[in-house]
């Protein structure tokens, strides 16, 4: 059977599963041919290799908006397109320690800092144009958002919906107040259904996130084909990593939770099938800010997402460093299954969004979550809420710059901010998976209260826009920005040289005590071992080599400092928040 015939057969089987309860006006065979023709419009078919790791220890992803760094004149006028500025900053300050970049939605948008897309195939002209995106994609592995669940109420599609004709007029998910929507899981407090005035009368549409973000109706085959068309276009533009935004909400079915439905999982598998047959080295990352067990399901059987966001890591790691106790972080790490070859975790501590609390459900008690939220609020953070099915509200995420979130402990602010911050990243960089570093963590940006005031959005607190010259000055002066930036670059530079830090290398949790967090990594060829040891408290701690199972007959080095640990040394003293990557290979 040819590659094309095999692909058509697989796609048809997947469509039959997804649309089993939908009356289609097209046969499954014709539907399959349409999708295959769409995905191959710019690329030839290729045979994907199953269970292939598309990443190494050299991979790390910088997360940034296209205008996080902008060049201004003295009157605060923008002097050049921000994508030019970003590309220069990447080349001058980020390379070669980070080889990939996630540019958050760079399309025309109407709200939510890009996640309410007006036009999926255009670049926001205030940022630049496709040639600027192409140039960055030539120098770095480019990760881009496929905002798949919804689009802007100011889009041409929605305008055509109101007119009742034209492309997009039937793209949106209808709603009915008489449906059973009591079980629908919501990440927001706004009303789920929005009343729209159209040429054909008043109609309700589904809005999971906001009334400016109208949900797309994937029960319409044309919507699925439109998304495949956009994917094919992005591949042509140099996108290597596809971030499926809010994909857990893709399929709706009244009387259910409308999240993580089997049709949604099969749709992700379908996207994987189509993408890997035209771009075998492309990667799908699912953005599913949900409880841990549900999140893990997006790996499928190594046939769904290549990577999943490790959403439980940020709240657990922050909680560990604020309390000085690693019990919950250790329990979670011990419970996490190793990723199969061809899949891996995407680790992060901070992002453009807040620190999600749903992924901590079942891992931290309500009391511990409330204490965590209280500490973050005392450090100047904000808290965003979601509405439960019974109409009550619950904390959904904490909004704060990570540098400020780690300014102290539950006892209050202290002098260990920088050490604690670097400790958090040393843990994340050493873990199984690919590390993602938010640009404002890389340069230790603090809370932006002015932007919150201006936008009236809690998430703006961690979305500062830097003036390029001001930032470069701070990175060159003796500032906390300079010290953190250089500390982060040092850790990343060391990391990229260690085969034991391959995203799929073996990982075992160490049992030391609740004040010292530790795990062991071993390279896939078993030639390198690294004992990763972290003092997660504000006190000096002494350890014996036996407590970390170090075989003193071998030669060992702390990769962070470059110091050798010899066989006469019986005690290791760890300063507050000190990190050690102890390896039998000095590189």
Q: Is pLDDT at 567 greater than 70 in this prediction?
A: no
- Domain range annotation of the chain: 506-583
Of 67, 112, 145, 245, the catalytic one is 245
Place of tokens 């640990």: 565
**245 catalytic per annotation:** yes
SS3 content of the chain, % helix, strand, coil (to 5): 35, 20, 45
What is the rounded CA–CA span in Å between residue 517 and residue 430? 12
119 token code pair: 């036009």
Average the pLDDT over 490-503 and give the result.
98
Q: Is pLDDT at 324 greater than 80 in this prediction?
A: yes
Helix (H) or strand (E) holding 393: strand 393-399
369-392 in b/e form (b: 16+ CB < 10 A) is bebbbebbeebebbbbebbeeeee
Nearest to 63 by CA among 407, 348, 469: 348
Higher local confidence (pLDDT), 547 or 570: 547
pLDDT confidence bin for 187, thresholds 50/70/90: confident
Chain mean position to CA 290: 12
pLDDT confidence bin for 549, thresholds 50/70/90: confident
- Of 37-41, 286-290, 297-301, 391-395, the one with minimum mean pLDDT is 391-395
What is the rounded CA–CA span in Å between residue 102 and residue 61? 7
What number of residues does the chain have? 587
Average the pLDDT over 532-554 and give the result.
88
CB-count exposure of residue 515 (10 Å: 0-12, 13-18, 19+): middle
Q: Is pLDDT at 570 greater than 80 in this prediction?
A: no
Q: How many CB atoms lie within 10 A of CB 457?
A: 16
What is the rounded CA–CA span in Å between residue 143 and residue 397? 24
Q: What is the pLDDT of residues 58-94, one digit of tens each?
A: 999 999 999 999 998 887 888 899 999 999 999 999 9
Alpha-helical regions (H) of 277-326: 292-296, 313-323
Nearest to 63 by CA among 379, 288, 347: 347
pLDDT of 568 reads 63
Q: Is pLDDT at 565 greater than 90 in this prediction?
A: no
What is the rounded CA–CA span in Å between residue 521 and residue 459? 35
Sequence-ordered list of residues with C-beta below 8 angstroms from that of 46, at least 6 positions apart, any chain: 3, 277, 278, 280
Sequence-ordered list of residues with C-beta below 8 angstroms from that of 52, at least 6 positions apart, any chain: 280, 341, 342
Is residue 388 a contact partner of residue 382, using CB atoms and an 8 Å limit? no
Is residue 11 a contact partner of residue 300, using CB atoms and an 8 Å limit? no
Nearest to 430 by CA among 356, 352, 533: 533
Helix (H) or strand (E) holding 88: helix 82-89
The count of C-alpha atoms lying within 13 angstroms of the C-alpha of 373, restricted to the half-sphere facing its C-beta, is 20
Mean pLDDT of the chain: 95
What is the rounded CA–CA span in Å between residue 541 and residue 547? 12
Is residue 214 a contact partner of residue 158, using CB atoms and an 8 Å limit? yes
pLDDT confidence bin for 242, thresholds 50/70/90: very high
pLDDT of 587 reads 80
- Let me know the angle formed at the C-alpha of 71 by 66 and 76, rounded to the nearest 5 degrees: 115
Alpha-helical regions (H) of 448-514: 449-455, 468-476, 480-495
DSSP reduced 3-state for 232: helix
Q: What is the pLDDT of residues 419-464, one digit of tens each?
A: 999 999 999 999 999 999 999 999 999 999 999 999 999 999 999 9
pLDDT confidence bin for 545, thresholds 50/70/90: confident
Is residue 338 a contact partner of residue 505, using CB atoms and an 8 Å limit? no
User: What whole-number percentage of the chain has pLDDT above 90?
Assistant: 91
Q: Is pLDDT at 555 greater than 90 in this prediction?
A: no
Strands of 475-552 (E only): list them.
506-509, 516-522, 529-535, 541-544
Is residue 282 a contact partner of residue 342, using CB atoms and an 8 Å limit? no
What is the rounded CA–CA span in Å between residue 136 and residue 315? 32
Architecture of the domain delimited by 506-583 = Sandwich (2.60)
């Amino acid at each position: 059977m040819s590659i094309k015939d095999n692909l058509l057969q697989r796609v048809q089987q997947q469509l039959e599963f997804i649309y089993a309860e939908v009356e289609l006006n097209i046969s499954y065979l014709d539907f399959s041919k349409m999708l295959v023709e769409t995905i191959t419009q710019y690329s030839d078919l290729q045979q994907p290799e199953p269970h292939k790791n598309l990443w190494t220890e050299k991979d790390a992803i910088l997360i940034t908006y296209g205008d996080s760094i902008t060049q201004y004149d003295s009157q605060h006028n923008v002097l050049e397109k921000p994508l030019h500025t970003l590309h220069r900053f990447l080349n001058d300050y980020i390379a070669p320690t980070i080889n990939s970049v996630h540019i958050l939605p760079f399309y025309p948008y109407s709200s939510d800092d890009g996640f309410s897309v007006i036009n999926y195939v255009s670049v926001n002209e205030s940022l630049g144009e496709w040639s600027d995106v192409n140039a960055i994609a030539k120098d770095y592995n480019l990760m881009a958002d496929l905002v798949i669940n919804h689009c802007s109420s100011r889009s041409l599609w929605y305008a055509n919906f109101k007119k009742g004709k034209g492309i997009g007029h039937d793209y949106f998910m209808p709603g009915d107040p008489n449906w059973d929507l009591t079980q629908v899981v919501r990440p927001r407090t706004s009303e789920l259904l929005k009343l729209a005035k159209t040429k054909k009368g008043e109609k309700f549409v589904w809005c999971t996130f906001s009334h400016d973000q109208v949900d797309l109706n994937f029960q319409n085959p044309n919507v699925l084909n439109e998304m495949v068309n956009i994917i094919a276009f992005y591949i042509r533009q140099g996108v290597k990593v596809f971030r499926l935004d809010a994909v857990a909400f893709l399929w709706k079915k009244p009387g259910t939770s409308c999240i993580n439905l089997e049709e949604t999982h099969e749709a992700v598998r379908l996207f994987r099938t189509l993408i890997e047959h035209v771009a075998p080295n492309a990667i799908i990352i699912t953005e599913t800010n949900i409880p841990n067990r549900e999140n893990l399901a997006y790996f499928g059987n190594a046939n769904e997402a290549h990577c999943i966001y490790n959403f439980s890591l940020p709240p657990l790691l922050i909680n560990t460093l604020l309390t000085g106790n690693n019990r919950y972080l250790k329990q979670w790490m011990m419970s996490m299954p190793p990723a199969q070859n061809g899949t891996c975790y995407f680790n992060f501590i901070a992002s453009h969004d807040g620190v999600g609390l749903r992924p901590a459900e079942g891992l931290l008690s309500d009391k511990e979550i409330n204490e965590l939220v209280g500490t973050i609020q005392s450090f100047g953070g904000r808290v965003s809420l979601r509405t439960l099915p019974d109409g009550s509200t619950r904390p959904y995420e904490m909004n704060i710059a990570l540098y400020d979130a780690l300014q102290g402990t539950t006892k209050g602010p202290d002098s260990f901010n920088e050490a604690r911050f670097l400790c958090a990243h040393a843990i994340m960089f050493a873990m199984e998976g690919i590390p993602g570093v938010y640009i404002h963590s890389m340069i230790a940006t603090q809370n932006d209260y002015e932007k919150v005031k201006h936008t009236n959005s809690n998430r703006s607190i961690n979305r500062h826009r830097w003036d390029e010259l001001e930032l470069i000055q701070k990175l060159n002066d003796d500032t906390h920005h300079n010290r953190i930036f250089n500390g982060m670059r040092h850790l990343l530079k060391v990391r990229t040289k260690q085969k034991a830090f391959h995203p799929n290398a073996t990982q075992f949790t160490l049992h030391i005590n609740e004040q010292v967090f530790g795990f062991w990594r071993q390279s896939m060829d078993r030639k390198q071992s690294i004992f990763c040891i972290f003092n997660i408290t504000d006190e000096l701690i002494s350890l014996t080599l036996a407590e970390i199972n170090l075989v003193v007959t071998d030669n060992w080095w702390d990769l962070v400092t470059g110091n050798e640990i010899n066989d006469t040394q019986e005690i290791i003293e760890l300063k507050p928040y000190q990190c050690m990557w102890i390896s039998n290979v000095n590189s």
